[in-house]
Every structure is written in C-alpha cells, then in structure tokens.
C-alpha cells in the first residue's frame, strides 16, 4: 500500500512540477527576467530540476538525484518568497501575488522521496533492486 501511495504522489505532484518547469526550460538561462540577480547557470539548474526532475520522479528513475535537485530548488524558492519577498505562507483573497506555500509543499515532497525512495513501482526498483518502501 505504501508503494501505491508513493506512485500516486510521484505522478500527481511531479506532473505539476513538470508543468511549472516547462516555461522555464524554454529559456533556461533567463527565465527569471532581465533584472534578475540569479546567475543564468543557477536558473538553468532550477529549470532542469523542475522539468527533468519531474519526469524522473514520474518514472521513479534516479529518484535520489532528482529529489536532491528539486529539494534544493524548492528550498531556494521558499526562502526567496518567505525571506526576500516577505510573501505570506498562503495568499488569501482575490488580489493575487506570491506565497511560499507551494514551494514548501514541493520541498516536503522532495524530502520524502529523498529519504523514502520511489517505492516498489519504479524504474529505480527495476534497475537497482529493492532499496525502499
């Protein structure tokens, strides 16, 4: 049952991350914008972790590497929104704006897969044998 839950979480959460990363991977070195203080290589690593790491998670392939990349990216995103931009955890009301809720949820999900692994229904299990739930 745990492996079924991990599979559903891998596919559902990571499909969302792939969609978030799709726009970034189109312009990997400049997706933050022309006035960004983030170096292009770090922007590209974030885009790759979201887009490529999302696909890796869906397949359950190279899960520790994908999880580490996504955890780093989401930690920076949560920190940026919480500390640098002073956004609230959850943005309430119709006014829109940023929050760090989603980045925090993705960070927790990345940490779960980093520590628990992808589960039985994964390519990691097929290629590397039993290593987790």
Nearest CA to 6 out of 74, 63, 77, 62 is that of 63
- Evaluate if residue 69 carries a pLDDT over 90: yes
What mean pLDDT do residues 87-115 have?
Answer: 89
User: Which phi-psi region, left, alpha or beta, contains residue 60 (left: φ > 0; alpha: ψ -120 to 50)?
Assistant: left
Strand locations in 26-76 (E)? none
Residue 41 has pLDDT above 60, yes or no: yes
Residue located via tokens 């929050």: 99
Global pTM? Answer: 0.87
Q: How many CB atoms lie within 10 A of CB 117?
A: 22
- Checking if the pLDDT of 1 tops 90, the result is no
Of residues 70 and 36, the one with the higher pLDDT is 70
How much is the mean pLDDT over the chain? 90
Does residue 87 register a pLDDT over 80? yes
Look at residue 68 in the predicted model and tell me its pLDDT: 96
CB 13: neighbour CB atoms within 10 A?
Answer: 21
Whether residue 101 has pLDDT greater than 70: yes
Question: Mean of the pLDDT values across residues 113-133?
Answer: 85
């Amino acid at each position: 049952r745990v492996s079924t839950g991990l599979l559903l979480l891998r596919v559902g959460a990571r499909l969302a991350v792939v969609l978030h990363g799709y726009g970034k991977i189109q312009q990997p070195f400049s997706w933050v914008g022309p006035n960004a203080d983030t170096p292009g290589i770090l922007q590209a690593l974030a885009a790759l972790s979201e887009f490529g790491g999302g696909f890796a998670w869906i397949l359950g392939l190279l899960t520790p590497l994908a999880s580490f990349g996504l955890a780093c990216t989401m930690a920076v995103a949560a920190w940026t929104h919480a500390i640098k931009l002073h956004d609230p955890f959850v943005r309430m009301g119709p006014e829109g704006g940023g929050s760090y809720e989603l980045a925090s949820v993705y960070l927790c999900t990345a940490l779960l897969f980093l520590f628990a692994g992808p589960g039985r229904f994964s390519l990691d299990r097929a290629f590397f044998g039993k290593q987790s739930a």
